[in-house]
């Protein structure tokens, strides 16, 4: 018994010891080499003034802020492009995935071409294509592509109208109230169906709630919305730019485009695999009890398909987030460019900054993973 | 049991190996750089990824430029052959790490000497081989002729990880102009962005602007504005902590400048051995023991002058004759109204 225990634990303890030793060796070695070269180690620099500006930031930032603030700007920009990418790649992926199973020859072939095309070209190349070939070929602001005088597309970016709200907070709370009501509408509908068998049009009711409740705030609570349109202004004889509105820099557009198109192909394949993974008998059984095609998809196929789709899709979301670090290649100020780029160069603190950056990506990835695992558990078969 | 014994042995061996490596790290000795350079028989030099006049490789892979010549001078001094240099092209972002990690021994890459770089990150600047300042380039047809005409919302392209990024902010802030900084990693990407109209102005050191202008599709369509917004003393850098190597690089550069001051060129260096002037004789190694003080042979300085030339020759060959900057500007000897003033080699 005792020798069996040793046999079980000894290799594990030794492995752990080796890992600690190796880690210790690298730390020790780095420390000695840094001492030899007169480099000190510490995170005090995070409180120093960054003294460089960043092209694009969602939070208040200026060069007088600290390196930590610059880190936050980079982090938020990384999250922004990841969220945009995940949003669009999911929508495109689901549509293309379903289209690949379409009985319509043309639709099916187009979806196949889409997947094979965007999946088989390296992401960096696609990014370069969008940024250096497609978006750089856009006209100068003076000759920008005009969308109904409210939105303009130029080499300097895409300018869209800005929402100018009064009493935005009231509107915001009304949306929250609507969302909570929808939750109860669905609960009520489910209860009604289970207890009395009556069908309550929950979707229609929810739809009306989300429209009517916020709309009421416009009428009675003094909420109003106006638009600030971008206007072309002349800076010098030949230099023009847009004033007002919101400018989306071409770097962000290119990155979001490349990431969502590339990742959409993998999601499309996941969706296709998920739907195909649901047994044919399930659909036939559903059809035989008189469900419509839409109901079959919604009530029978999708709940089962999701179980197959979600785990590999989590992987794709993680990949997309990590791939967003390619931003550095096209000057989008993400975490890598701002923090592991400019900040690292200005402070020279390579080890500290790279460690922080790696830890940050690890945290983001683990959070996405945790969220998706939670969702996966929710849709998994519940054994009773 | 046998299996776990076997893996235990493996572990013991690997632990022993690790400890062995550890003691190697302790064995660091003084002036390792000089010893290693002689052993390898080439100087490891970090340069730019292509900046005409400073460090630029031709189609055959031959490097030239004033920054390149500093490394060649060190090779001539230490190894007697200016050709024994291995050049490593580095981005602005990579340069300091490459030096501190020991990948290169000299960084000669149009690098600005600042206090924080000198003091904080384990580097030592050994001198200045080019006095520069930051400027702006704009398209001629924009009608802009001075930085005072810049307006709110101007977009400016530059390199990340440079002093340029910091100066740019100081400049626009002091002028109370809002601007959009667009920072790329490679100089070529910055130029392409500016050329396509993504940015209204391109800012970097003026010498860099002049050099990049020659690379543009149509150089005549662009002008460099007259204002200089910063001091940019560019010079070679070495790792902190090897004072012998630091002295060798510093005095290799100083010899080039002093040789020009005394009129010694690559062509007349040999004949200068019989000069009446003792300082000239010292510089060509006919008098004194200057080389020995640096741990080098006494022909170290004449090798530099004969193989690389004096500072003026290097400047003419790389910067004036290539049409980058026709005039010496501040990079003229102090005796002729410039800033080049080096301590005497004696």
Domain spanning B32-131+234-336: which superfamily?
A: Periplasmic binding protein-like II (3.40.190.10)
B1 has pLDDT over 50: no
pLDDT single digits (tens) A155-176: 988 999 988 888 888 888 888 9
Tens of pLDDT along chain A (384 residues) come to 577 888 888 888 999 999 999 989 988 888 887 777 666 778 888 998 888 999 888 898 988 899 999 999 999 999 999 999 999 999 999 999 999 988 899 999 999 999 999 999 999 999 999 999 999 888 888 888 888 888 899 998 899 998 888 888 888 888 899 999 999 998 988 888 888 888 778 888 888 888 888 888 888 877 888 888 888 888 888 888 888 888 899 999 999 999 999 999 999 999 999 999 998 899 899 999 998 888 888 888 888 898 889 889 998 999 999 999 999 889 899 999 999 988 988 887 888 999 999 999 999 999 998 988 888 888 877 765
Classify the C-alpha dihedral B190-B192-B198-B202 as positive or negative: positive
Beta-bridge mates of residue A163: A227
**Inter-residue contact B210 to B325 (CB < 8 Å):** yes
Helices of type H across chain A: 2-36, 67-99, 105-119, 123-128, 168-196, 202-220, 250-276, 280-288, 293-295, 302-323, 335-337, 344-347, 350-379
Percent of chain B at pLDDT exceeding 70: 91
A vs B: CB pairs below 8 A: 149
Residue of A nearest to B143 (CA): A237
Choose among B4, B153, B173: nearest Cβ to A243.
B153
**Inter-residue contact B50 to B110 (CB < 8 Å):** no
Tell me how crowded residue A200 is: count the other CB atoms within 10 A of its CB. 16
Residues in chain A with CB shorter than 8 Å from the CB of B11 are 14-15, 17-18
Common-topology check for domains B32-131+234-336 and B134-230: yes
Choose among B18, B149, B161: nearest Cβ to A345.
B161
Tell me how crowded residue A223 is: count the other CB atoms within 10 A of its CB. 20
Give residue B202's pLDDT: 94
pLDDT single digits (tens) B10-35: 555 555 554 444 433 332 345 889 99
Every domain of chain A and the residues it spans: 2-41, 67-137+247-379
Mean pLDDT of chain A: 89
- B160 to chain A, any CB pair closer than 8 A? The answer is yes
- B32 to chain A, any CB pair closer than 8 A? The answer is no
pLDDT single digits (tens) B306-334: 999 999 999 999 999 988 888 898 999 99
Residues 115 through 134 of chain B touching chain A, CB cutoff 8 Å: 116-117, 120-123
Choose among A17, A38, A350: nearest Cβ to B241.
A38
Beta-bridge mates of residue A227: A163
**Inter-residue contact B148 to B246 (CB < 8 Å):** no
B97/A37 Cβ within 8 A: no
Residues 61 through 120 of chain A touching chain B, CB cutoff 8 Å: 63
Residues in chain A with CB shorter than 8 Å from the CB of B92 are 345
Helices of type H across B230-341: 243-261, 278-283, 290-293, 300-307, 311-315
A67-137+247-379 adopts what CATH topology? MetI-like fold (1.10.3720)
pLDDT single digits (tens) B254-274: 999 999 999 999 999 999 999
- B92 to chain A, any CB pair closer than 8 A? The answer is yes
Every domain of chain B and the residues it spans: 32-131+234-336, 134-230
Choose among B28, B192, B200: nearest Cβ to A36.
B28
Residues 219 through 248 of chain A touching chain B, CB cutoff 8 Å: 233, 235-239, 241, 243
CATH architecture of B134-230: 3-Layer(aba) Sandwich (3.40)
């Amino acid at each position: 018994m005792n020798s069996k225990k040793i046999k079980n634990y000894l290799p594990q303890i030794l492995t752990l010891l080796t890992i600690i030793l190796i880690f210790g060796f690298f730390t020790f070695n780095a420390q000695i080499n840094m001492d030899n070269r007169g480099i000190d180690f510490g995170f005090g620099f995070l409180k120093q003034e960054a003294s460089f500006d960043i092209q694009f930031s969602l939070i208040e930032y200026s060069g007088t802020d600290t390196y930590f603030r610059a880190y936050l700007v980079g982090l938020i920009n990384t999250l922004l492009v990841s969220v945009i990418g995940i949003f669009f790649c999911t929508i495109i992926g689901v549509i293309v995935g379903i289209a690949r199973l379409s009985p319509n020859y043309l639709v099916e072939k187009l979806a196949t071409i889409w997947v094979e095309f965007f999946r088989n070209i390296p992401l960096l190349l696609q990014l370069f294509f969008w940024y250096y070939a497609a978006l750089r070929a856009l006209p100068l602001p003076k000759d920008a592509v005009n969308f109904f005088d409210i939105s303009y597309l130029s080499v300097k970016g895409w300018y869209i109208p800005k929402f100018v709200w009064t009493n935005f907070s009231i509107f915001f709370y009304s949306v929250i109230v609507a969302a909570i009501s929808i939750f109860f509408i669905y609960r009520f509908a489910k209860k009604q169906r289970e207890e009395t068998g009556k069908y309550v049009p929950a979707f229609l009711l929810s739809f009306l709630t989300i429209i009517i409740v916020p709309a009421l705030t416009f009428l009675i609570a003094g909420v109003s919305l106006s638009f600030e349109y971008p206007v072309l202004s002349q800076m010098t004889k030949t230099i023009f730019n847009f004033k007002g509105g919101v400018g989306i820099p071409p770097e962000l557009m290119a990155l979001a485009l490349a990431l969502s198109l590339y990742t959409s192909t993998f999601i499309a394949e996941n969706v296709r695999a998920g739907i195909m993974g649901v047994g044919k008998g399930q659909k036939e059984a559903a059809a035989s009890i008189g469900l419509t095609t839409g109901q079959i998809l919604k009530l029978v196929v999708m709940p089962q398909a999701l179980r197959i789709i979600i785990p590999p899709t989590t992987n794709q979301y993680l990949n997309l987030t990590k791939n967003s670090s390619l931003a550095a290649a096209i000057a989008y100020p993400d975490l890598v460019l701002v923090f592991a780029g400019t900040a690292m160069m200005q402070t020279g603190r390579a080890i500290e900054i790279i460690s922080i950056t790696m830890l940050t990506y690890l945290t983001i990835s683990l959070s996405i993973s945790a969220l998706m695992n939670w969702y996966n558990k929710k849709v998994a078969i519940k054994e009773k | 049991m046998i299996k776990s014994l076997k893996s235990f042995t493996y572990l013991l061996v690997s632990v022993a190996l690790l400890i062995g490596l550890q003691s190697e790290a302790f064995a660091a000795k003084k002036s390792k750089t000089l010893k290693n350079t002689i052993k390898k028989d080439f100087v490891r030099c970090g340069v730019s990824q292509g900046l005409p006049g400073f460090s630029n490789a031709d189609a055959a892979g031959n490097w030239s430029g004033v920054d390149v010549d500093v490394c060649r001078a060190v090779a001539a001094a230490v190894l007697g052959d200016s050709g024994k240099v291995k050049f490593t092209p580095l981005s602005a972002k990579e340069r300091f790490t490459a030096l501190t990690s020991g990948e290169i021994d000299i960084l000669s890459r149009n690098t600005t000497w600042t206090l924080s770089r000198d003091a904080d990150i384990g580097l030592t600047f050994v001198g200045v081989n080019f006095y520069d300042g930051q400027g702006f380039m704009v398209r001629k047809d924009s009608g802009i002729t001075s930085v005072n005409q810049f307006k709110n919302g101007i977009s400016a392209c530059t390199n990340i990880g440079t002093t340029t990024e910091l100066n740019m902010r100081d400049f626009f802030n002091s002028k109370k102009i809002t601007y959009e900084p667009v920072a790329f990693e490679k100089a070529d990407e910055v130029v392409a962005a500016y050329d396509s109209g993504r940015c209204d102005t391109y800012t970097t050191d003026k010498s860099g602007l002049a050099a990049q202008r020659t690379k543009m599709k149509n150089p005549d369509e662009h002008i460099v504005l007259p204002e200089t917004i910063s001091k940019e003393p560019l010079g070679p850098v070495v790792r902190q902590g090897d004072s012998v190597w630091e002295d060798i690089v510093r005095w290799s550069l100083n010899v080039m400048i002093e040789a020009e001051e005394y009129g010694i060129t690559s062509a007349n260096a040999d004949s200068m051995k019989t000069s009446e002037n003792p300082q000239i004789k010292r510089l060509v190694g006919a008098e004194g023991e200057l080389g020995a003080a640096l741990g080098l042979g006494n022909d170290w300085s004449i090798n530099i002058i004969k193989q690389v030339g004096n500072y003026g020759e290097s400047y003419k060959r790389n910067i004036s004759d290539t049409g980058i900057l026709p005039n010496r500007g501040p990079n003229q000897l102090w005796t002729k109204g410039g800033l080049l003033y080096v301590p005497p080699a004696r």
